[in-house]
């Protein structure tokens, strides 16, 4: 499974994406207030940064589990087996809900 396929699969099954975006937006707004007025970011820039943070989070998850995938199974079957076992998706969802920004 490629990283883009993984991200699409995960995004379709997680409920925590909106919560992540809301927390990240609050963090970016707070950071923006601390910037000098001339250096403050507009909404588009903040949205790009939040999108990048989300993709980085999912890329990190992908890179953490990739070595654990059974390479002997054909196609995406090994990935799907791993992702559907032991409440993996629920665990990721809970972890994303618990993320705190500093």
pTM of the model: 0.86
Q: If pLDDT is split at 50, 70 and 90, which confidence band does 69 have?
A: confident
Nearest in space to 27 (alpha carbons), one of 54, 60, 61: 54
Amino acid 88: pLDDT: 87
Residue 9, judged by CB atoms within 10 A of its CB (0-12, 13-18, 19+), counts as middle
Q: If pLDDT is split at 50, 70 and 90, which confidence band does 87 have?
A: confident
Q: What is the 3-state secondary structure (H, E, C) of 13-41?
A: HCCCHHHHHHHHHHHHHHHHHHCCHHHCC
């Amino acid at each position: 499974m490629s990283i883009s396929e993984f991200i699409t699969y995960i995004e379709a099954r997680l409920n925590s994406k909106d919560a992540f975006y809301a927390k990240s937006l609050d963090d970016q707004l707070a950071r923006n207030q601390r910037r000098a007025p001339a250096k403050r970011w507009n909404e588009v820039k903040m949205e790009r940064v939040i999108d990048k943070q989300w993709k980085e989070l999912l890329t990190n998850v992908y890179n953490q589990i990739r070595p654990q995938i059974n390479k002997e199974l054909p196609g995406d079957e090994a990935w799907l087996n791993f992702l559907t076992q032991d409440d993996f998706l629920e665990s990721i969802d809970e972890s994303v809900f618990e993320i705190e920004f500093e």
